[in-house]
Structure formats: structure tokens, C-alpha cells
Structure 1
Amino acid sequence: MAGPLSPDRLLSALRAEGLKVVEYKSWRAHRRPASTGSFGPINGVMLHHTVTTGTSGSVALCYNGHSALPGPLCHGVIDKDGTVYLVSAGRANHAGRGDDDVLRQVQNESYDRGKTLTPNEANTDGNTHFYGFECINLGNGKDPWPAVQRDAMVRASAAILRAYGGPAKGWTARSVIGHREWQPGKIDPRTGQGGVDVAPPVLRGLIDERLAHAASWSPGGKTPAPTTPVPTTPPKESTVMPLSTDDVARIWKTDGILPAPSTAAPGNTHWTADSYVRDIHARVRAVQGALDATNATIRAMAEALAARDDAVDVDNLIQVIETRLEGVRVRLEMES
């Protein structure tokens, strides 16, 4: 039986495998309450896709969770550029209930590595037994997987297996499965178009190849440096696009979230599309600032309440409030 890795051990194992790792917020202490179940004995690694785009929003969502499923939602988030964002070192809501027959096959490593496991029941808590990595991808079968992201998935999985002793101790790629191999009805990780294949059998082949070498090894003889996407600057509008009164009415509905800018009165033809976007952006930022101020006020109120009544679970109260506010903030960020 294997217990969980300490935060330091997990971090060092990932970095030793050549990964760029970002420690996100209070990831070392961020975990599900003990009342929800244990974390351990550990039997393997489970890989997922996020069904999201964008790094900051995806990482925040995996850290905080959402109204239907509290965070953390995994242990690490793997970005498109191969960066791993650590969000938890303890129990996380990522696996859910799955097939106990699959668990036994993973424990005994008694299945064909090159075939996909097929679960047919959900009777066992997977959050107890698996480290989980959420990989940023829409999961729609179209969003491509970059090679550097798949390489990070392979390295992260190998790092966990190596930390427990690797193949010499019975920790081969058969200890790594996809979410779809654990829980009936799941499809992740799902391969997209125009990128690399991330089917679990393909990943296991690459993981075992990696485990046959030292942690510093890379195909081709050197470790590729994680890349950062280069931001692109949208082209500037070359001409002024006058808007009629009807245009303004269609864009700024009276029952919409945002009212029309005060200078965009009927008949005003001097606003361009760029001007409208900048106005929306400024309003969204103002709302985000108000949310931050509200969050600080609520925390102060909760701490004051806790000082008067020791029975108040202030940490849980703050976490619920912050989770809900973060959900709103993520949606606003995506809109902006």
C-alpha cells in the first residue's frame, strides 16, 4: 500500500522529470475535507480533459471547483504549452465513482497495455486511489493536442510512477488510465483534429518508453524547453464604421446587462466597433473590481463572526463564498 506523496516530494518529482511547474495559490494545503473520504492508498494516475479554454480560467476553475462540484478538481492542470499548475496535494474531486474491476486490473497491472479498458459499473471511489491531471482541451474531438502538452502528460505520469519506485516496484504505465477507462459514460481524454493522439493506450506506450530511461531523458536527446504562446495583436480598424440609430438599438438592448454608453445617443455616428469593445472591457473590469472588494468585505465579516462564535466554520464559509465569486469572475474574464 502506498501513501500520498508529500507536497515537496510531488513537486520535486515533477521537476526532476523536466517539467515546468507553477505552484498555484495555497495548493499544498488545498484539499477536500477528511469527511469526504481518504486519499490513499494510491494506485495510479488518471488523465482528463478540462472542456475549457484559456489558462487562467481553467486553473482557477480546477482550484475552486463550481457550485455542483467543490474544488480542488485535480492535483495538477497541464496547459497547452506543457506547463503544470499544481492545485492540490491531497484528496481532489476528479475521478468520481468507477469500476472496481478496473481498479483491480490497475493494482495488479494485469491487462493489455495497448488496449482501452472498458468500465461497466460505478461502485468504487476513485478519488481515494488516483492522482488526477486535468489537461486543457475542449474535448470536442476537434481541439488539437500539441505535442508538448502530450509530452507533459507523459512526464507527469512517469514522475508519479517513478516516485513510487517505477517498474522495479511494479509501477509501470499500466498504473495510468484515462477517465473514460474508469467511469462509464466518460470520454476523456479525447483526441482532437490536427494534433497528436492522446488515447490511453498511446500514452501508456510513451510512458513506459520514458520509464526505461532516466528522468532527465527526452526523445531526441534533449529536454525541450516549455514554450509560451506569442500573443498576437489584432489588426487596427482602418476606417471609421458609423452606426445608425437602428445599429445602436440592436447592439445595446434596453434589457441587456450593459446599458448603452452615455455618448452613444440616438443619431451618434462617431462610435466605432473598437470603441464599443473598449467600453465593454472597462465596464467588465469595474465589475471585477467590485467583486474583489466584496470578497474582502465578506472575508472580514466572516472572520469577525468567527471571533465571536468558535462554532462557525470560517474556512468552509470563506471557501464557499470565494468559489462562487471565482465562478462569476471566470465567466467575466471569458467575456472580456
Structure 2
Amino acid sequence: MATPITASTLVAALKDEGLTVVEVRDWRNHHRNHQGDWGPVHGVMIHHTVTSGAERTVDLCYDGHPELPGPLCHGVITKDGKVHLVGHGRANHAGLGDDDVLNAVIAEKDLPSPNEQNTDGNSRFYGFECENLGDGEDPWPAAQLEAIEKAAAALCRHHGWKAPSVIGHKEWTDQKIDPRGFSMDDMRDRIAERLK
């Protein structure tokens, strides 16, 4: 359990991990806190966007759409490996998921298969949307995968978490398939190595 990182500390943590950070519009004050709690936070959730084009993807994640207002995450990781910060606070990214998964994340143990939608993930997870069509064919450039690793590691390092605190959206709920095209187990291995 942890108090959410401040905006300035997040920027510093990402840069300390070697990332290029782009601060988008009024991201520091852009959130959905009026819709519910933000924190305590327990982990980091990785998504794919089902979009292409960095500018379009970042704008969508900042603004959202009529059915789901933005921000749709905290950071957007584009194919070039840049992290675009689009929100700070509660974001519409995780939705409802399985409390057994949340308990496993908190305990940093192996994840059970999700089979319930009974817990609000938007209040408990940081979210990174990653520019990718999510069709299993759109490539994941090395720079982007490295940025996912570094961004997740930056938050883990700040909070004293280990790699099991990082999950994919599909590991939170059986209603989602993202991220598709790389292995979350492999990504956690990379994050664990970086945290050494």
C-alpha cells in the first residue's frame, strides 16, 4: 500500500531511469478524482491502445472519448520510447477486476487467473497505455519495450515494490486481451533485472 507519487517526483523518477518524458498540456491537474478514490496504490498496469500514430494516440489518451472521458492512463509510451504524461490522479484505465489478483499484487505473489469484476482498479493502479494496434502483428520496437521496463521500474523503485507489482490489463480481468504481442512474464523478468 502506498500514497500516490507526486507529479514532480514522477517526472524525476522517470528521468532518473533514463527516459525521455513529454509533459502534455495540463497533465498535472488532469484526473478523475471527482469520480472516486485515487490511492492507496499497489501496482502498475500495462495496456495497448489499439491505435497507431503517436500524436493521435496521446491526444486520445488525454481527452478520452464520449463513452469514457480522459485521462485514459497516466502515461502513454509511444513506439519511439518516449513517455507522454497525460494525467495525474485517478484515470480511466483499469476498470473493474478481480480482488484475488489485487491481493496477489499486494503480496507480490504469482497471479491467479482473473474471473471476477468486483474491485475498482482505477483507484489502485498506475496505468501506462502503449501505442500498438494490439493485433499480435504490430511490432513492439526495442525502444518501446525498454521504455515500458524503465517506466514500471521507476515506480517500483520509488515505492519499494518488486516486479510482481507490474501486471497486464489481461491479468486484471478476463474481459481484456492487452497487452498483446509480448509476454508480461518476460517483461517482469526485465523489470526484476533492472531493479537489481
5 Å-filtered alignment, 1:18-29, equals: 18-29=18-29
Tell me how far 1:72 sits from its aligned partner.
0.2
| SS of structure 2 residue aligned to 1:92 | coil
* Structure 1 match to 2:147: 152
- Asked if structure 1 preserves the Cα contact closer than 8 Å seen for 2:157 and 2:195, the reply is yes
Q: Is 1:110 matched up with 2:109?
A: yes
Q: 1:117 to 1:20 in 2, by over 3 A?
A: farther
Answer 1 or 2: which has greater helix percent.
Answer: 1
1:124 aligns to what?
119
Q: Which residue is equivalent to 1:2?
A: 2
> More strand by proportion, 1 or 2?
2
| Residue of structure 2 equivalent to 1:16 | 16
Matched residues in 2 for 1:103 and 1:206: separation?
22
> Which residue of structure 2 lines up, in the alignment, with residue 204 of structure 1?
188
**Partner residue of 1:187 out of 177, 192, 196:** 177
* Contact 2:46 2:169 survives alignment (8 Å): yes
Shift of 1:117: 4.5
- Equivalent pair of 2:41/2:124 in contact (CA under 8 Å): yes
Question: Cα distance 1:94–1:7, how it changes in 2: closer, same or farther (>3 A)?
Answer: same
Structure 2 residue aligned with 1:39: 38
SS at match of 1:77: strand
Aligned to 1:262: none
For each residue in 1:76-133, what CA deviation from the matched residue of structure 2 results, as whole angstroms up to 9, or x when unmatched?
000001000000111100000000000000001121xxxx642111000000110000
1:185 CA displacement = 2.2
For 1:157, the aligned partner's letter is: A
1:1-336 equivalence runs, <5 A: 1-34=1-34, 36-111=35-110, 117-165=112-160, 171-191=161-181, 198-212=182-196
Aligned residue identity for 1:122: Q
Q: Alignment identity in percent? A: 58
Query: How many angstroms apart in 1 are the aligned matches of 2:9 and 2:112?
Result: 30
Give the match's secondary structure for 1:2: coil
Query: Post-superposition, which runs of at least 4 consecutive aligned residues in structure 1 deviate over 4 A?
Result: none
Aligned partners of 2:100 and 2:112 also within 8 Å:
no
For each residue in 1:202-249, what CA deviation from the matched residue of structure 2 results, as whole angstroms up to 9, or x when unmatched?
Answer: 10000000000xxxxxxxxxxxxxxxxxxxxxxxxxxxxxxxxxxxxx
SS in structure 2 at match of 1:127:
coil
Q: If the length of structure 2 is used for normalisation, what is the TM-score?
A: 0.98
Contact kept, 8 Å, 2:92 with 2:122, in 1: the verdict is yes
Gapped regions of structure 2 (runs ≥ 5): none
**Deviation digits for residues 109-158 of structure 1 (CA, Å, limit 9, x no counterpart):** 121xxxx6421110000001100000000001110101110000000000
Distance 1:19 1:158 in 2: 11
Aligned to 1:309: none
Residue type matched to 1:200 in 2?
M
Counterpart CA distance in 2 for 1:4 and 1:61 is: 24
CA shift, 1:69, in A, is 0.3
Q: Which has the larger radius of gyration?
A: 1
Instruction: Check conservation: 2:63, 2:70, Cα contact below 8 A.
Output: yes
Q: For 1:121 and 1:70, how far apart are their aligned partners in 2?
A: 24
State the aligned residue count. Answer: 196
Q: 1:148 to 1:117 in 2, by over 3 A?
A: farther
